[in-house]
Amino acid sequence: MAGPLLQTKLHVPRLRRGLVARPRLSELLTGARESALTLVSAPAGFGKTTLLAEWLATDPVDERSVAWLALDERDNDPALFWTYLVAALQTAAPEVGAAALALLQSSQSPMGAGLTTLLNDLHAVPHDVVLVLDDYHVIESREVQDGMAFLLAQLPPQIHLVIAGRADPAMPLARLRGRGELVEIRAAELRFTPAEAAEYLTTVMGLTLAAGDIAALEGRTEGWIAALQLAALSLRGRDDVAGFIADFAGDDRYIVDYLAEEVLQRQPEHVRRFLLETSILSRLGGSLCDAVTGRAGGKATLEALDRGNLFLVPLDDRRQWYRYHHLFADVLHARLLDEQPGDVPGLHRRASDWYEQHGEPSEAVRHALTGQDFGRAADLVELAIPALRRGRQEATLRRWLEALPDEVVRVRPVLSIGYVGSLMVSGQVEGVEERLRDAEQWLDPTTAEGPQGRSGEMVVADEAGFRALPSAIAMYRAGRAVILGDATGTMSHARRALDLAGSDDHVGRGAAAALLALGYWTTGDLDAASRWYADGMAHLEQAGQLSDVIGCAIALADIQIAQGRLREAMGTYAGALQLATPPTGPVLRGAADMHVGIAGVLLERGDLEAARRHLATSDDVGEHAGLEQNRYRWRLAMARLRQAEGDLGGALGFLDDASNAYISDYLPDLRPVAAMRARTCIAMGRSGEELGWVRERALSVGDDLDHLREFEHITLARALVARFPTEDGERSMSGAVQLLERLLRAAEEGGRTGSVLDVLVVQAVAHQTRGDMPAALPPLRRALALAEPEGHVRVFIDEGAPMGSLLRAVAGEGVALGLVRRLLAALDGTSESAPVRAGPIVPLSARELEVLRLLGSDLGGPDIAGRLFVSVNTLRTHTKNIYAKLGVTNRRAAVRRGEELHLLARTSDGRSGRAVIADR
């Protein structure tokens, strides 16, 4: 992020002298203090930016700070947009966004992690902040638009968003309008009234005009400010004012073209030449203008243009940077292309050179591309690839590469690999292998004149990137194999990448080891997978890629849990959590995931209170609202907690939420939500639903067994056991018993002790259900012996009363006696491990419960206040008290917390029953 560029983007435009006072608009803008969104929407030239700058400079509001961000097309890259937005907010609230910015700039952090962390910071800001996004119409990225909609929905009341642009943003304007949370100023309000037009022409522009001329000019321009300014500039020094006014007419575009030409023709030749040649620039500075024009005096010329009100917009307080008004710039550039088309490439080349020399590669690339200097652009892009990857700007890299002619990219193997990376980051594999082969063939000396007969010689700008190509090619082939579900190919290419990576290439070696581990995991070799994940994590930690280490920890702990090694899994989570929460510096992406993982182990060990604390901490970190993987895993853990508390309907609700939140990633989905939901339905006695799931998944007792579907097949066995002694129940039971025997052998051979425990417990229950207690006790004894060293508890307790009978039958045998006693105490409800319900430390009053219920509806603040017959300020007081008691910071979190604490009832199928307050 370049210093000068950032400064100009974050600068509130400086007010010009002698502005027209427009109290009617200032009065409209006072509503912004109470509204979530203020929208200033109108075509170009209506004074949107000037209006907001004037309001912010003159509005008499104490203890309010301003954050300003001027946007352009480059900000469609999500990484750039959010980084700039955080930087803007830090000008108003310096304590905001340190952790968020680190997450946003991490090469591995999901965008939502930084965004949600930012929201947490904003809720803690003690004063009002006005965040202005100028020229928002340039934002077309769906990812950015969705992120802004999410941000707007979660903004605390002290943060006020103001958007200025030529088109309405992709936000729920109708809903905000209906709730009274939207202030709108459009072209109809921005047009000069006749009185304002008269003041502007006479006082600001210094013209002496008759009342009839002013009225005629205002009528011709219809109060359009840009046209009035152009007309006023053209009128200076004219004798035949009335004749001039009568000469121009037509639509808006015609008026601007006509008047701009008039203004240009009245400038001295050296000024006119300066205007045309610098029209290629998005911002203007003295040194830059000197470099582009090839002449000195750029700073003085800019200052003179500024004094003459010649459509120059200052971008800082020191008069170092300016830009042309967009309309005027369009006219200037069109005239440049018309009069001097042959000069344009050279102007862009000089601009590109200047930006490269001043450390702004993004602008250097833009000018090289615009000037169609594709060789230079390709060199610049190739050299920028490492920084773009570190900054998560793959969208920018892909946009640049796709702007280059294909024949330029294909003779540059480093660019080809860069393009592969920009495709695969979004899971796209089409065209990847072709690009990999192109790059690979350039490495063969026998194809020095071009692979597969392609013309041209190989071009390399980044020698270090070229040396790393062999390993990178193998790495991307391994990643492609993962996406395609080819475990064998994944392992083969990952091994090759390891062989080719240098001993000091810890990033390359760590990534390759992790891919190899994933391949082993997919094929069922958990021991090898565990070893390679540990090796990969060690390399990645040595390289300082801590976010990657934490991501691998999730996979490693999942494997250890599958192996029944709860202690090692807890150690893996704890170690990664320590990395994610350093004593100094921001909390890293993945901290919430580690708390969820620890909670899962604690749940299995029967420590519900400790598990609840870790899940609450994960919630407080806030990442589950933005981190896709954590959002899914957090809801799964909450479902398990609800089931452990005896709230099966609540468990179903969280499972349904988890299903909606699930986004497939590279890790195998070994415990599908649908199978977990079927198990919960079995526990609730809803046999029809789980049988529907069996048919949908085409499961049968005669299936070939695969560890990837092992959890589903054990669930099938549970469903068959649950049918006994209904019609056809005996045949179902026999099929279940046979399936369980096969599953047990497969799990034992694969070292999957977690599955072994699950199968043994189901076997014991199955025999007990048939009335065969002698056959039920051996698998139970073995399960207890396996479970005791690692502290497995829930696998037994979740079976409920039938397990109690079984445990009493073995209680006197001395097998795992301590564990048996603990299990029986938990099942009888006499221990701390028995299900308990947690409520807020300070209970909510009846009025606060009523407010909380309405917060769960679609009503806006004013509507809720009206429903309760209180003022909006009183409602805010109730809301703040609710937030404090529940330990949350926004409306959505309050409703969710209310549901979790059973302050809001859930229906029997787990959906939120927000219209009912539960009796407590």
pLDDT in tens, 707-733: 999 999 999 999 999 887 766 768 889
- The alpha carbon torsion through 843, 849, 851, 854 (nearest 10 deg) reads 140
CA atoms within 13 A on the CB side of 495: 7
> From CA 642, how far away is CA 644, in angstroms rounded?
5
729: helix, strand or coil:
helix
pLDDT band at 901 (very low <50, low <70, confident <90, very high): low
Lowest mean pLDDT among 26-35, 368-377, 624-633: 624-633
Q: What percent of the chain clears pLDDT 90, i.e. is strictly above it? A: 40
- pLDDT over 70 (residue 67): yes
DSSP 8-class letter at 12: P
Q: What is the pLDDT of residue 251?
A: 47
> From CA 219, how far away is CA 222, in angstroms rounded?
5
H/E stretch holding 212 reads helix 211-221
Q: For residue 149, what are the contacts with CB-CB under 8 A and spacing of at least 6?
A: 170, 171, 172
> From CA 163, how far away is CA 698, in angstroms rounded?
52
What residue type is assigned to position 884 of the chain?
A
CB atoms within 10 A of CB 15: 14
- pLDDT over 50 (residue 847): yes
- pLDDT over 80 (residue 896): no
CB atoms within 10 A of CB 36: 22
816: helix, strand or coil:
coil
Going by C-alpha positions, the residue among 217, 203, 285, 207 that lies closest to residue 255 is 217
pLDDT (average), residues 468-489 = 91
Q: What is the pLDDT of residue 907?
A: 34
Q: What is the pLDDT of residue 223?
A: 75
> From CA 619, how far away is CA 896, in angstroms rounded?
10
Which residues sit opposite 165 in a β-bridge? 41
The answer to whether the Cα torsion of 607, 611, 614, 616 is positive or negative is: negative
pLDDT (average), residues 82-86 = 89
Q: What is the pLDDT of residue 253?
A: 54
858: helix, strand or coil:
coil
Q: What's the farthest any 2 CA atoms get from each other in the chain?
A: 115
Backbone torsions φ then ψ of 231, nearest 5 degrees: -60, -40
pLDDT in tens, 91-101: 999 888 877 77
Question: Helices 648-661 and 673-684 meet at what angle, rounded to 10?
Answer: 170
pLDDT in tens, 512-561: 999 999 999 999 999 999 999 999 999 999 988 887 899 899 999 999 99
pLDDT band at 626 (very low <50, low <70, confident <90, very high): very low
Backbone torsions φ then ψ of 443, nearest 5 degrees: -75, -15
CB 750 within 8 A of CB 526: yes
How is 594-646 classified by DSSP, letter by letter?
Answer: HHHHHHHHHHHTT-HHHHHHHHHHHHHHTGGGT-HHHHHHHHHHHHHHHHHTT
What residue type is assigned to position 684 of the chain?
M
CB 404 within 8 A of CB 378: yes
> From CA 676, how far away is CA 639, in angstroms rounded?
9
Which residues sit opposite 913 in a β-bridge? 905
Residue 357, burial from CB neighbour count under 10 angstroms (0-12, 13-18, 19+): exposed
- pLDDT over 50 (residue 915): no
> From CA 343, how far away is CA 187, in angstroms rounded?
38
CA atoms within 13 A on the CB side of 890: 23
> From CA 148, how far away is CA 71, in angstroms rounded?
14
Q: What is the pLDDT of residue 919?
A: 28
Q: Which two tokens stand for residue 620?
A: 């407080």
DSSP E strand boundaries for 233-320: 284-285, 312-314
pLDDT band at 588 (very low <50, low <70, confident <90, very high): confident
Going by C-alpha positions, the residue among 557, 481, 553, 549 that lies closest to residue 515 is 481
Q: For residue 723, what are the contacts with CB-CB under 8 A and spacing of at least 6?
A: 687, 729, 732, 733
pLDDT band at 210 (very low <50, low <70, confident <90, very high): confident
Q: What is the pLDDT of residue 4?
A: 62
- Where helices occur in 484-545 by DSSP H, the ranges are 487-500, 506-523, 526-542
Q: What is the pLDDT of residue 508?
A: 86
Q: Which residue has the higher pLDDT, 369 or 849?
A: 369
Q: What is the pLDDT of residue 188?
A: 81
Q: What is the pLDDT of residue 297?
A: 93
Q: Which two tokens stand for residue 749?
A: 């051979």
Which residues sit opposite 68 in a β-bridge? 132
pLDDT in tens, 394-414: 888 999 999 999 999 999 999
CA distances from 898 to 179, 849, 918 (A): 23, 9, 10
How is 652-719 classified by DSSP, letter by letter?
Answer: HHHHHHHHHH----SS---S-HHHHHHHHHHHHT-HHHHHHHHHHHT--TTSPP-GGGHHHHHHHHHH
DSSP 8-class letter at 204: I
Backbone torsions φ then ψ of 751, nearest 5 degrees: 70, 25
pLDDT in tens, 247-280: 665 444 566 676 677 778 778 899 999 999 999 9
